[in-house]
Structure 1
Amino acid sequence: MASVRGCNIPEDLSYNVDNNVWARREADGTVTVGLTAYACSLAGEIVAYTPKKAGKDIAKDKSCATVESGKWVGPVKTPVTGSVIAVNDAVASKPGLINKDPYGEGWVVKMKPSDWDGESKSLKTGGDAVSAFEAKMDSEGFKGC
């Protein structure tokens, strides 16, 4: 796992760097979506999580959930178009899981993507993601996680 300024960036995930979200394609073709460690550091401790309901169709770059911290309230934007098939009940009862384990138990929604092969081409992976996050952190004057 790569680290940029103390923020973990797993190189096996796909990222929409601008929106600070990740996607993991599962073996069954579904996609798990979550916030990056960088997003968690910017937001601070997340205290509320309001996901869209299962069955809801969401366009790429539109909100699949809203999260709230002491510093920020905002959308979690999907990296691909699809339908929400599951929300994270563990995060609903304990939103801070997003901060504690953003790439594991703190996932936000699971989706059935409409066009993973087409839309995932715009996402960054591996070293490209690490370089993109490094550039973004530089431009935003981010000190570190």
Structure 2
Amino acid sequence: MAKVANYDMPDDLYYTTDHAWVKIEGQQIRVGVTDFMQQLAGNITFVRVPRAGKDLEAGKTLCSMQSGKWAGKITMPVSGKVVEANKDLASVPKPLNEDPYGKGWIAVIEPSNMAEVQTNLLFGDKALAFLQEEIAKHPQ
């Protein structure tokens, strides 16, 4: 796992420019929010998770969330079907802050085209460079 400033960044994941992580699991992907995003947002108090079975295009809202100082959304990293949602987050959003790469996952998606993950998302050095730029824009 890479550590950039005070932020954990697992190096086996793909990343989006709205601070979501994507883990490939066979023919599906698991999506959550990055450590950087949850620290920037602060204590997340509300999450609206997606409905399982819903087909969404890349860039459409996957989930919305808010904290005492922030409200925002995570978009679909690729087009596909939501096959599972972490419904527990709706009543207890704490895992988003406490375990963003584990119990704080948001949804499992079956991509329409798995190749979009490698072509549309950030990985490795590109992901690290993006996070460093974001840290410079949002010093805490």
TM range (shorter): over 0.9
Higher mean C-alpha displacement, 82-91 vs 117-126? 117-126
- Report the residue type matching 1:124 in the other structure: L
CA apart distance, 1:53: 0.7
- Aligned mates of 1:55, 1:100 — CA distance in 2: 28
1:119 Cα deviation (Å)? 4.6
Deviations 1:69-116 (A, max 9, x none): 111121111211111111112322310110111111100111111112
The two structures have a TM-score, normalised by structure 1, of 0.90
Q: Which residue of 2 aligns with 1:125?
A: 123
Give the whole-Å Cα distance in 2 for the aligned partners of 1:136 and 1:39: 10
SS at match of 1:47: strand
> TM-score scaled to structure 2, two decimals?
0.93
Q: Which runs of 5+ in 1 are unaligned?
A: none
Q: CA RMSD in A?
A: 1.3
Residue in structure 2 matched with residue 2 of structure 1 by the alignment:
2
Q: Which one-letter code corresponds to 1:122 in the other structure?
A: N
Q: CA deviation at 1:122?
A: 2.1
1:25 to partner: Cα distance = 0.8
For residues 4 and 52 of structure 2, the distance between their equivalents in structure 1, rounded to whole angstroms, comes to 34
Q: Which structure 2 segments of 5+ residues have no match?
A: none
Percent identity reads: 33
RCO comparison, higher one (Cα < 8 Å, 6+): 1
Aligned to 2:130, the other structure's residue is in SS state helix
CA–CA separation in structure 1 for the residues paired with 2:37 and 2:120:
19
- Aligned position for 2:32: 34
Residues of 2 paired with 1:141 and 1:90: CA distance?
30
Aligned equivalents of 2:63, 2:120: Cα separation in 1: 21
The 8 Å contact of residues 46 and 67 in structure 2, kept in 1 or not, is answered as yes
Q: Runs in 1 of length 4+ with deviation above 3 angstroms?
A: none
Structure 1 segment 40-51 matched on structure 2, within 5 A: 40-51=38-49
